[in-house]
Amino acid sequence: MKPVQRPLHVAIIMDGNGRWATRRGLPRSEGHRRGMTVVRQTIRAALDLGVGYLTLYAFSSENWKRSEKEVAFLMQMCEVMITEELPFLIKNDIRFRHIGRKEELPETLKSAIRRGEDLTKNNRALCVVLAFNYGGRQEMVDAVRRLAGDVKEGCLAPDDIDEKAVAASLYTAGIPDPDLLVRTSGEMRLSNFLLWQICYTELYVTKVFWPDFRKKDFERALKEFRKRTRRFGGAHD
């Protein structure tokens, strides 16, 4: 019998907070607030469903183009979420990691992130990866800069730059590539998310807006994943 295929790493593009709010005559911030509650529920669902890595796209490098008010709100929410979730993460053996450019974030958020990463670094039950001020292209630029620096220092030869060396220079170093990418709210695009890592990831798009995403929607995505045949470029049977 074929073993049940379960994704080790699920990445989610959490989209539709704004539309969810607008349709209810509410400010966009209300959609984000509701979205934050769903983030918490989704971490619990991932733990329960035996997912090993959960990567959540919360703020892209391009999201700075939003109004100053919305950007400030998202920064503040992120800090509140990390701080409030930390006891739960510690209690449940969950590791927290951030991917993205830390240096551009407010000081208080940076220290909340560092504290979260530090206090959970030995946890193993689940790894929650928060993509905040993250962009796939920016990540590649940073990796190239790092590798070029190593070449300049004389500790790396250009011929030694292979896929493994590039992967090890990305923010996601040490994290396996996602098996499943879920996008909510129906848009069919990648929005600069994990461009290197999703090379052979299975894609699943649901029309459900992020604030309405529930454990049953997560389970539906996992059920769909089980039906997929993964060949990684190999031939059909």
32 binds ligand FPP (CB under 6 A): yes
The catalytic site residues sit at: 15, 63
Give the interface segment with ligand FPP, choosing from 15-23, 46-54, 146-154, 158-166 (CB under 6 A): 15-23
- Does 95 participate in binding ligand FPP (rule CB under 6 A)? no
**Least CB distance from residue 199 to ligand FPP, whole Å?**
24
The interface mask with ligand FPP, positions 39-78, x = CB under 6 A, is x------------------x----x----------x--xx
x/- binding map, residues 127-166, to ligand FPP, per CB under 6 A? ----------------------------------------
Among the listed ranges 12-20, 101-109, 113-121, 164-172, the one in contact with ligand FPP (CB under 6 A) is 12-20
- DSSP track, the chain: -PPPP--SEEEEE---HHHHHHTTT--HHHHHHHHHHHHHHHHHHHHHTT-SEEEEEEEEGGGGGS-HHHHHHHHHHHHHHHHHHHHHHHHTTEEEEEES-GGGS-HHHHHHHHHHHHHTTT--SEEEEEEEEE-HHHHHHHHHHHHHHHHHHTSS-GGG--HHHHHHHSTTTTSPPPSEEEE-SS----TT-STTTTTTPEEEE--S-GGG--HHHHHHHHHHHHHPPP-TT----
Contact positions toward ligand FPP, by CB under 6 A? 14-19, 32, 35-36, 39, 58, 63, 74, 77-78, 81, 210
